[in-house]
Structure 1
Amino acid sequence: MESFPSPTLWAIPFFVATVAGEWLWSRKNRHIRYETKDAMTSLLLGTGSLVAGVLTGGMVLALSLWVYEYRLFDFAIGWPHALWLIPLAFMLDDLAYYWFHRTAHRVRWFWAAHVIHHSSQHYNLTTALRQTWTGFFALSFIFRMPLFFLGFPPALIFFLAGVNLVYQYWIHTEAIDRMPRWFEAVMNTPSHHRVHHATNPRYLDRNYAGVFIIWDKMFGTFEPETAEEKIQYGIIKNLNSYNVLWAAFHEWIGIFKDLWSAPWRYKLNYLIKPPGWSHDGSRESSETIKKRWAKQERAAWQNMTLSSSAADQQVARLPDG
């Protein structure tokens, strides 16, 4: 089995240098927001994620190798096959990430592990480091298993997944407005990803891409950033706490409480329904929030249209001259 370096470990000095640079820049530019306690929480959560990865990585690798034993094809990584194999593997891995990411927002079980990444109300490079501690427990790794079954070597996919993760680091910033038009059309960018981290109804459950924004455009989940609306970051019900353990486990605790108290016929739904779902309708999910917002937008548009029509009629009644 081939071996590859870990892109995330190699990138740590780059992470440290750029976080320091962005923080210094934020001292002069009020548009870039840093809050010391929030940033420290993000860094601690990132460190905890590295530890969790070390503790569970062996089990993920063992399972991946087991699936790989039953592969449909044998792909050789050597020259010249690498010229087409590695780009293909990178594209398919990014597609797998898209569906993982989309599921992580639409199924509460997976959201319980992923929510940690969205729990900051600030958007800067430290937010990118706010990663899950419980991804293994949530079975997040299953989305890449089909790639091993197809015949892509696990070592290659893990390496490319690391490259994917490192790419996503730089898009967690407000220091960059827009990239060139051609780049924005194909790649995930700070502008696209700011939308993903927003809690504004317009932006909820949009832009799941890792590297290529084309997946969102293909599957109907793309939403462009607009200058008309200031982005609010965080989650629907913000933590209002810098407690690292609470940030890492609060949604799992919430699931446990719901499973304990809910009627039997609803218990499974608290695992597989979207975040915010409740059997009695007492909570709000992203769907209900977006529907209410869309209704308000339609009502505002209708009122504006009626007002414009009434004004036109008034003008029409004015005498000539």
Structure 2
Amino acid sequence: MDMSHIPDLITPAIPVFVITIIAEALWVKRQRAEAGVTLKGHTWKDTLASISMGLGSVAVGVGWKVVAFAGYAGLYHLTPLRMGSGPWAWVLLFFLEDLCYYAFHRVHHESRLFWASHVVHHSSQHYNLSTAVRQTWTPMTGWVFWVPLALLGFSPEMIVTQQAVSLLYQYWIHTEAIHRLPRPVEWLFNTPSHHRAHHASNAVYLDTNYAGILIIWDRLFGTFTPEVERPVYGLTKNLSTYNPVRIAFHEFAAIARDVARPGPLGQRLGYVFRNPAWKPKTAQAPEAPPPVEAAHPSP
């Protein structure tokens, strides 16, 4: 397939990513020096690791985009439905694609096999624009979530364009430089405040705020949590490496180790598909026995 027919909004934006990452790092450094603002900021090792992950993701995406686009095209030609390409089709696609992203994002947090791909994006203990480009090298787990759009009759070109619009929108919300936006914006859209909570490892924030562009899906489906306490960024068990290869594949390796353990098939499948925090009952700490009441002599 000729790649020239596949819309690409991400690659032309790479220079903007680089410029804004540098500008943000300089701004945070100045804020710290002048006002002692407690922002997490950048460290050069972490930022370089994020940029390396982003460049690797772009490289993998060159080939994967062809496969994904071909899959959408095949389904599009199978369905009798046609949504057209008029303004109302784009409006409907905006909402439906964002709902598909919500489903994609939620499953990638709640099922370990999918989390193994997505965990890359959450592996930094910093929160800045470079975190936005810390992307997976295994995007194959996401394709199925946008299949309904092709079956509804949206053209492959429209689907991948709207996917790119969503990713570009999500770039700017990875920052501590913006505190809160006006209330109507915070109520309708995903914002830096909402997404900071999503990237936090605080117990109150876990598995919340899956939004792409619109926060309304989280409000509707009960997964919304406002930013109420200072976020602690990263994983519940953080990595101690900046090696891009280990960042990209560490959770897949952990799944393989768990599956190799002795145990029934159900347990092995649980390690693969259940919640990333799931453990079989035999691996959980036993509950403490109830206290024994002291015996009292009969009167």
TM-score, with structure 1 as normaliser: 0.83
Residue 3 of structure 1: how far off its partner (Å): 4.7
Partner of 1:217: 219
Mapped partners of 2:121, 2:227: distance in 1: 20
Q: Say if 1:61 and 1:154, in contact at 8 Å, map to a contact too.
A: yes
Q: Quick one: structure 1 residues 29 and 282, their matched pair in 2 at CA, closer, same or farther if it must change by over 3 Å?
A: farther
Mapped partners of 1:27, 1:169: distance in 2: 20
Mapped partners of 1:187, 1:283: distance in 2: 39
Residue type of the partner of 1:271?
A: V
Residue 54 of structure 1: how far off its partner (Å): 0.8
Mapped partners of 1:240, 1:272: distance in 2: 25
Residue type of the partner of 1:36?
A: W
Matches for 1:113-124 after TM superposition, within 5 Å = 113-124=117-128
SS in 1 for 2:30: coil
**Residues 127-157 of structure 1: per-residue CA shift (max 9 Å, x gap):** 0000000121xx3110000110110001111
Partner of 1:237: 237
Q: Say if 2:83 and 2:152, in contact at 8 Å, map to a contact too.
A: no
Residue 55 of structure 1: how far off its partner (Å): 2.1
SS in 1 for 2:208: coil
Residue 280 of structure 1: how far off its partner (Å): 3.7
Matches for 1:87-106 after TM superposition, within 5 Å = 87-106=91-110
Residue 28 of structure 1: how far off its partner (Å): 1.0
Residue type of the partner of 1:168?
A: Q
Partner of 1:274: 275
Partner of 1:309: none
Tell me, yes or no, if structure 1 residue 110 matches structure 2 residue 132: no
Partner of 1:19: 21
SS in 1 for 2:24: helix
Unpaired runs of 5+ residues, structure 2, are: 33-37, 286-299
Mapped partners of 1:248, 1:216: distance in 2: 28
Matches for 1:1-321 after TM superposition, within 5 Å = 3=5, 5-30=7-32, 31-32=38-39, 33-77=41-85, 82-136=86-140, 139-226=141-228, 229-265=229-265, 266-280=267-281, 282=283
Mapped partners of 1:281, 1:187: distance in 2: 43
Residue 75 of structure 1: how far off its partner (Å): 2.1
> Which 4+ stretches in 1 moved above 3 angstroms?
1-5, 280-284
Partner of 1:314: none
Q: Which of 167-176 and 25-34 deviates more?
A: 25-34
Give the fraction of aligned pairs with identical amino acids, expressed as a percent: 45
**Residues 60-95 of structure 1: per-residue CA shift (max 9 Å, x gap):** 122111111222411221xxxx21111111110010
Residue 272 of structure 1: how far off its partner (Å): 1.2
Partner of 2:290: none
Aligned pair count reads 276
Residue 262 of structure 1: how far off its partner (Å): 4.0
Q: Say if 1:277 and 1:283, in contact at 8 Å, map to a contact too.
A: no
Mapped partners of 2:74, 2:272: distance in 1: 28
Q: Quick one: structure 1 residues 255 and 263, their matched pair in 2 at CA, closer, same or farther if it must change by over 3 Å?
A: same
The two structures, once aligned, show a CA RMSD in angstroms of: 1.7
